[in-house]
Structure formats: structure tokens, C-alpha cells
Amino acid sequence: MNYKYKFKLSNLDCANCAKKIENALNKNENINKASVNFANLSLVIETPLKNGVKELVKEIVHSVEPDTLVYSQDENTYKNKLLFDVIRLAVGIICFILSIFIKNSLIHNILIIIAYLVLLERVLKKAITMLIKGFNIDENLLVSISCIGAYFTNNIHEGLMVIILYEIGKILEGLAVNNTRKSIGDLMDIKPEYANLKVNGDLLRTNPTEVKINDIIVIKKGEKVPLDGKVIEGHGLLDKKALTGESILSEVNVGDEILSGSINTDGLITMKVTKLYENSTVAQILSLVENASDKKAKTEKFVSKAARIYTPIILLLAILIALLLPLVPGITFSDSLYRALVFLVVSCPCAIAISVPLAYFSGIGASSNNGILIKGSDYLEGIRTIKEIIFDKTGTITNNENLNYSLEIYNNKYKKEEILKYYVSGEELSNHPIAKSILKLCKVKEKFKVRNFKEIEGNGISFKIDDDKIKIGSAKFCNYENNIPGIFLSINNEIISKLLLIDGIKENAKETIEKLNSMGINVKMFTGDSKSIALDIAKKVGIKDVSYELLPKDKFNLLEKEIKKYNGNVAFVGDGVNDAPALRIAKVGISMGNIGSASAIEASDVVIMNDNLNSLLVLLKISHKTDKIIKQNLIFAFTVKILVLILSAIGIATMWQAVFADTGVTLLTILNTTRILKKSYCENKNS
């Protein structure tokens, strides 16, 4: 049996270092899987161990990154670390400034040494530890060699300025990254702190994890709904923006089901709990967002792998510069050593190693704010390259709003109300979208007692009422002579009636499909409905290519052919239940609607919580924006670094330019990345 543990990390300011920790943890025989999310400093461990996990994790983490601390999820140490870094920096700067004005050589030298020791302490300690424990070479070693080398080549003040500017840059970098993490965290601030549990007429403030199914809880005005449930008393106005991205308030009354994560903006609601906290909507969403970094994009994986071999190569090149340049007439060994030191500072890979994973995490955060949950950065990257989107019909292009029906009776012994009673009695035991539509449309005063209920996927349902054998489903399933569209009712193998549902088309469906076509994305529809219904719906929304009368396995087989045709770049949009096989094999499986459905979240790669087709356009916009920001960061970082590297090799660039090419570029790429969160993606605001 595997246990899952979540921890927070601190004093970790390098994406490459985060990858080293992840690799070390995954190599341990007691850990089945470890995932480090640098963007939000979280660590997820899966292990068969029940005890001593935190101690084991701490030991492994410290062996790789001695300064990195491991904490429980509810602890936060960032402010303490920031204060310590600022104080240490201030002491180093004061000693440096005093050394400039003090003429006494002894005191001057003591102040310089103190400044070097105070400012270099963290970086040098980390570099030495990494070398001793695993012969790992990273930016800490590059900066340490540069500063110490500057001291011994009599560029003392330049060496100090390098470490001062580097430390200032790291503090600003930490603030920028932390603010980005906070922004993303604020977007998904839906975790309930407590539940008002009703016990013997009194309200007890209780942890939501301790509330059981059928317990009664009360949600007051301004409080978050802590668990999923059904209203049994009162009414309220719910703000579902954190779940769906929509700002329109929803009125709820007795009998309505409500989801955790919503906020009661008005009224007093008493509800009966229908799901435990771990199975609730809010728990599923939080788990999905927290673990979104487990599946990394190709660009992110490449940067992570490249960073491991990049630094040693740079160190080797710097050594060659120091040794070979003196062979050029007019260049002394001291000059070549200085140029090599500048080369080392320029080459630190922070800008690339930090900005790429942070960009993907920001894209996932921006998506969450718009009611779109993405399981990993590879899916955010993948949606950008999609050439074809295939839609299911029921629950995706159509909905159960504005529905109507027609009933054709073949046996006059049965009256309309009695026939509807058969339909409702059977369909209330099914979770199929058609069953839900029938229940919504066909109202009856009472129901039959059903026995031996069975659901045959893609065909219909069968059950018994007293001694009568009932079938409800397709013409073929009910043994009707003509294979025509409709939901047939047979009693003891006699066809009694045909129910025909008239679909309601989702608002914005036609507009969304037109925009997808204008973007060069091919659009198709796969449905189990009859030819006439499928073609009618497709015509109304502007889809030209339709496949109809399909069973789930037929959808799967057709989708496989489309995937081969488009070299894998196919997305499938379905309801997340019947379409699970198709959702799984598509490059990006997207489930629409079914808010809170565990099957939807499980089967798909992307979950659109607001049931709005326009969210597909938002998803595409965020994906393209994230890709654009990443390319901007990479081009900018490489251009500046290569330029300064060339200038350093020919003796023009100094330590000042080198520090800008490292820390300055890193800070600018991080600030550029935050634009992903600040941009408005408003396609889905029209509900």
C-alpha cells in the first residue's frame, strides 16, 4: 500500500536545484515517486512507509541541498529567510562602504575580508557542500570562483560588487517569484477553514475533514461552502467564481445541490452533506492544481536536463579561456583570468532554469482563475499544437436547458402519464446525460418500484416492475423493427412508445466553433444519436464533418484514425463519463460540465468547470500566451548572455555587465512571466 505525503520547501531558489532534489528522492528505495514543484515550493511523496517519512525526506534533501528546509504544508518561513538575507546584505554593504573611506590599511583589509565572508558565506558554503557530497557544479560555484578570483587578481571592489549585486538580485528574484506564487495561490483560495456542524440544535465549528455523510451543516452569509451537499432549509446566493470563473451569482433553494468552494453571499443555508471532504469538489480541484507540475512540458524537461550539463561545460570553457588567451600577443595571464571570471558570472543559467517552469505554472494559475483546471504543463503546451478538435454532442454542444420532447404512443391501453412514469422510474437510476434530461422534462407524481436494474452501455436500461420486464433505449435494443431515432419503451417485449428529446444548443456554441475554424483548427462531431438529429445539430452550430450512431468503442476507433491522420495533434471534448476511453487517448482530453464529477476529472487532462464552450478559446489563448512568454524569455536571455560572453572573451565586458547578464536578466524574465497572470482572458465571461 502506498501513502501520499505533502511538504513545503524553503531556501530553494533554483529550478535546477529542485530537479536535483527530485532525482535524489526518486533514487531512494523507500520512495516510489517524488515530485518537486519549484513554482510553488511543494513536494509530494508516495511511499509504502507509514512512519519516519519526514525525517527520511529531510535527510535526502539536506544531502543534496543543505540550505533547503522541509516543512509541513501549513508552515511558512519565507519572511524569516527574507529578513535574514536583508540583514546579512546590509552588514556586508556597510563593511564595504566603510573600507572605502578608512585609510588605515589593516582596518581596511579587515573590513574587506569581513564583507567578503558575510556576503559570500551562503553561496560559498553551498558550493563546497555540493562539491563534497556529489561533485555537483552549479551557479554557486561559478559566483564563488568569480568573486574569490577577483580578490586575488586585485579586482577587490569589483569582486564585492559582483556578490552584492548578485545577492540583491537573488532577493528581488525571490520577491518576484514569491509574489507570483502568492498570486496563483490567491486565484485558488477555495479551501474551507471550517464547517458549522449542527449538533442537538447547536452549531460547532468543525474541521471539514471530520464531517460525515448525512451530517447537517449551516453556511452563513459570507462563508465558504465547505462540503458538497443538498439544501434542506433556507436559501442563498452563491458566488461560484473560484470554481467556474463566472461572476454571476446563483440562487439556491431547498432541494438544490451545492458544491464546496462556492461562497454564500446572501441568506442562510442549511444543508445535508452528500460527500466526505476527500471526495468533495474543492478537494478534487485543490489536488488537481497542487499536482499539476507532475506532468512537465517538453520544453521544461529539456531545460531541466540541459541545466545539469550546462554548468560543467561553462566551467571547462572558462578554464580554457584562462589558459589559452595568454598565448595571444598582448594578453597577460592576469587579463585572461579576469576575462574567464567574467565569463563564469555571465554563464549562470538562472534566467532560463527559473522562468520556464514559472511560466507554465503561471499559465495553469491563469487557467484556474478562468474555471479551467489543467493536470500538467504538458497539456497546457499540447493544446497549442492541436490541429483538430472532436466534440461529443450530448452535454458538450447541447445541454439540458431549453429542452423539449415529443411522445409517440403505440399501444392505446397506456396513457401518457403512466408511460412517463415508466421512463422516470427507470432513468432515475442512471447517470447518463439523457437520463438526466428525461428526469428534468418528464414530471410525475409517483414512481414504480424498480427491481433488477441493469444499464447496457450505449444501448439502454432494463429492469423489472412486479413481473413485467421493461426495456428503455434504442430501437435495436428494444427489438423494434425499424432502426429509427428515439428512446423506446418496451414492456414484455412489446413496443409501447417512443420518446424523442429535442436538444437545446449551448449558448456561444456556434460562435466558438466559427472561431476555432477561423484559427485553422478542424472541427468534427462524434455522437451516438441518429443521423437526422446529429446532422440537424451540426448544421445549427456550423460543424460540417459528423459521425453518428456511434457506440463508445466506435468513437474510440474513429478517434484513433484521426490521431494518426493529424500526427497525434487531436483534442477530444466530451462529458467525461461515457467518453472516458476517447478522452484518455487524445493528446488533450477535455471534459465539459459535470461539475464535481470524479469521473470527469479522472478521465480528462483538462476540466472546464463552467460548462461554457467559450472556455476552449480562453484555454487556447492562455496556451499561446504562455508559449510566447517562454520564447521571449529564452531569446532575451540567450541573446544578452551570448553578447556579453563574446564581449568578455575579447576583454570589453566587465563584472558589471556580467552581473546584469546573470541576475538582471533573471529578474527581467521573471517580471515578464508575471504578465501571464495579469492579462485578461475574457472569452468565458459571457455565460
Listed in order, the ranges of the chain carrying CATH 3.40.50.1000 are 361-392+506-621
In whole angstroms, give the CA distance from residue 575 to residue 292.
Answer: 21
Q: How far is CA 333 from CA 56, 153, 338, 413, 644, in A?
A: 48, 10, 9, 108, 20
Residue 595 grid coordinates: 461539475
Contact 394, 578 (CB under 8 A): no
Whole-number pLDDT of residue 687: 35
Residue 410, φ and ψ in degrees, nearest 5: -100, -15
State the fold for domain 3-76.
Answer: Alpha-Beta Plaits (3.30.70)
Whole-number pLDDT of residue 686: 39
Q: Give the number of C-alpha atoms closer than 13 A to the C-alpha of residue 392, restricted to the C-beta side.
A: 29
| 3-state class (DSSP) for residue 590 | strand
Average pLDDT over residues 593-604: 60
Q: Which residues are catalytic?
A: 392
Residue 400 grid coordinates: 439540458
One-character DSSP codes across 669-681: HHHHHTHHHHS--
pLDDT over 60 (residue 54): yes
pLDDT over 80 (residue 306): no
pLDDT over 50 (residue 596): no
pLDDT over 90 (residue 46): no
Whole-number pLDDT of residue 257: 87
Average pLDDT over residues 320-340: 86
In whole angstroms, give the CA distance from residue 153 to residue 459.
Answer: 83
Which range, of 96-100, 108-112, 370-374, 630-634, averages the lowest pLDDT? 370-374
Whole-number pLDDT of residue 515: 94
Whole-number pLDDT of residue 618: 93
Average pLDDT over residues 343-362: 77
Contact 266, 250 (CB under 8 A): no
Residue 147 grid coordinates: 568573486
pLDDT over 70 (residue 134): no
Residue with cell 595571464: 333
What is the DSSP code (8-state) at residue 448?
Answer: P
Average pLDDT over residues 573-580: 73
Average pLDDT over residues 548-564: 87
Residue with cell 414492456: 491
Which range, of 117-121, 503-507, 681-685, averages the lowest pLDDT? 681-685
Q: Among the ranges 359-368, 397-406, 448-457, which has the highest mean pLDDT value? A: 448-457
Does domain 398-505 match CATH 3.90.70.10?
A: no
Contact 85, 66 (CB under 8 A): no
What is the DSSP code (8-state) at residue 52?
Answer: S
In whole angstroms, give the CA distance from residue 222 to residue 262.
Answer: 10
Whole-number pLDDT of residue 173: 65
More reliable by pLDDT, 369 or 669: 669
In whole angstroms, give the CA distance from residue 159 to residue 153.
Answer: 10
What is the DSSP code (8-state) at residue 666?
Answer: H
pLDDT over 70 (residue 290): no
Angle between helices 350-369 and 665-673 (to 10 degrees): 10
Listed in order, the ranges of the chain carrying CATH 3.30.70.100 are 3-76
- Neighbour count for residue 163 (Cβ, 10 Å): 28
What is the reported pTM? 0.68
Q: Among the ranges 60-74, 158-172, 559-573, which has the highest mean pLDDT value? A: 559-573
Residues 72, 78, 79, 83: is their CA dihedral positive or negative? positive
Whole-number pLDDT of residue 520: 93
More reliable by pLDDT, 284 or 326: 326
Confidence of residue 171 (pLDDT cuts 50, 70, 90): confident
Confidence of residue 234 (pLDDT cuts 50, 70, 90): very high
Which range, of 8-22, 528-542, 627-641, averages the lowest pLDDT? 8-22
State the fold for domain 361-392+506-621.
Answer: Rossmann fold (3.40.50)
Percent of residues in the chain assigned helix, strand, coil, to nearest 5: 50, 20, 30
Average pLDDT over residues 2-21: 76
The whole-chain average pLDDT of the chain stands at 82
Contact 589, 378 (CB under 8 A): no
Whole-number pLDDT of residue 685: 42
pLDDT over 60 (residue 322): yes
pLDDT over 50 (residue 541): yes
One-character DSSP codes across 110-167: HHHHHHHHHHHHHHHHHHHHHHHHH----HHHHHHHHHHHHHHTT-HHHHHHHHHHHH
Confidence of residue 581 (pLDDT cuts 50, 70, 90): confident
What is the DSSP code (8-state) at residue 683?
Answer: G
Average pLDDT over residues 62-90: 75
| 3-state class (DSSP) for residue 579 | coil
Average pLDDT over residues 171-198: 69
Report angle CA 452, 458, 463 to the nearest 5 degrees: 15
Whole-number pLDDT of residue 310: 72
Listed in order, the ranges of the chain carrying CATH 2.70.150.10 are 195-226+228-274
In whole angstroms, give the CA distance from residue 360 to residue 299.
Answer: 10
Which range, of 79-83, 450-454, 502-506, averages the lowest pLDDT? 79-83
Whole-number pLDDT of residue 355: 77
pLDDT over 80 (residue 199): yes
Q: 195-226+228-274 — its CATH code?
A: 2.70.150.10
Q: Among the ranges 176-190, 291-305, 340-354, which has the highest mean pLDDT value? A: 340-354
More reliable by pLDDT, 293 or 465: 465
At position 98, the amino acid (one-letter code) is L
Contact 489, 471 (CB under 8 A): yes
Average pLDDT over residues 41-60: 86
Which range, of 263-277, 308-322, 491-505, averages the lowest pLDDT? 308-322
Average pLDDT over residues 106-123: 89
pLDDT over 70, % of the chain: 86
pLDDT over 70 (residue 424): yes
In whole angstroms, give the CA distance from residue 229 to residue 273.
Answer: 4
pLDDT over 80 (residue 304): no
